[in-house]
Amino acid sequence: MTNKYYLGVDIGGTNTVYGVVNQTGEIIFQGNFNTKLYNEPIELVKDIFKSFQNFSSKNDIQIKGIGIGAPNGNFNNGCIEFAPNLFWGEMIPIADYFSNIFQLPSKLTNDANAAAIGEKTFGGAKLMNDFIVLTLGTGLGSGIYVNNQIVHGKNGFAGEYGHTKCNESSRQCTCGKIGCIETYVSARGIVQTYQEFYFANKGKMPDKEISTKQIYNLAVDGDSIAIETYSKTAHILGNSLSNLINILDPEAIFLFGGIANAHPLLIPILKESINNNVLPILKGKTKILPSQLLNKNAAVLGSAAMWF
């Protein structure tokens, strides 16, 4: 069988990653750009095109189509709509930008949906019909499979889990609302929690900026403030996930994204919090797992897999 190639693009609030994917899930070429450096999304698309052209001219590889995952990416109309972690405006016809510049058909979906499609096609959910992929990074998203179908919703926005309400939070979210779970369960939220605990323990703020990776490394080394930070994050997420489990009864919830690398700290507390809050009949039924595509660009694979 002649291999077919597609371009998968994952547009994130911090980085945009793209790659040429074949039907076996191999990424034969990939690259990335800093999303925040682009005031105009069409300039980002042009740079991805130039990068691909450079690769294609040297390798004689042609792609058949483009799949894009993006925050608030609407499968129904190909537009990024009101994405709180992007600053390009309210309605961005990103699929049209790619189609016009590459002269190829393009499909768009929510970035978390793309990660879920990647998990289903190439990862740990191959044999599952009902599961959720949580994307833990700049924001918090969810890709949801029910009865072996990705859930898009009537308006194309199903899965905005990060903007469900969290009882513990009175923080301002980038979406403009108060109290979204994303204000705790995200890179920004974890850093804020660490700063709050640091101030409470030491009476001052940290001397320099710190990343979630550094906080995780501190926790692994036994730092009590970092451990407390991840514990609180996991408890808040677990309490909230119990509602999702009560509603959807998924076989598994997969953790994907940069923060998911802290799964050795997160998963034990998630399981405890979930089991303390779900209906007794569902206790212990849903698996909590790291993505099998963790650090393998599941959203790029999933975006491309929309064409398979």
Phi, psi of 207 (to 5 degrees): -70, -25
Q: For the ranges 110-114, 125-129, 202-206, 295-299, which has the lowest average pLDDT?
A: 295-299
- Average pLDDT of the residues in 173-193: 94
Average pLDDT, the chain: 93
Specify the pLDDT at position 55: 96
Q: What percent of the chain has pLDDT over 90?
A: 79
CB 28 within 8 A of CB 51: no
Edge-to-edge strand list for the sheet holding 106-110? 27-34, 15-22, 5-11, 66-70, 106-110
Q: For the ranges 6-10, 49-53, 85-89, 120-124, which has the lowest average pLDDT?
A: 85-89
Specify the pLDDT at position 173: 93
Specify the pLDDT at position 228: 97
Structure token digits, residue 194: 């660490």
Specify the pLDDT at position 298: 77
Residue 248, pLDDT above cutoff 70: yes
CA separation for the pair 215, 212 (Å, rounded): 5
Specify the pLDDT at position 2: 59
Domains present along the chain, CATH in parentheses: 5-117+297-305 (3.30.420.40), 127-290 (3.30.420.40)
Residue 238, pLDDT above cutoff 50: yes
User: 295's torsion region: left (phi>0), alpha (psi -120 to 50) or beta?
Assistant: left
Residue 281, pLDDT above cutoff 70: yes
Three-state secondary structure call for residue 192: helix
Q: What is the pLDDT of residues 21-65, one digit of tens each?
A: 998 889 999 999 999 999 999 999 999 999 999 999 999 899 999
CA separation for the pair 49, 7 (Å, rounded): 10
Distances (CA, A) of 114 to 143, 237, 249, 285: 7, 21, 21, 25
pTM equals 0.89
Residue 1, pLDDT above cutoff 70: no
Specify the pLDDT at position 295: 79
CB 254 within 8 A of CB 296: no
Specify the pLDDT at position 222: 96
Residue 5, pLDDT above cutoff 60: yes
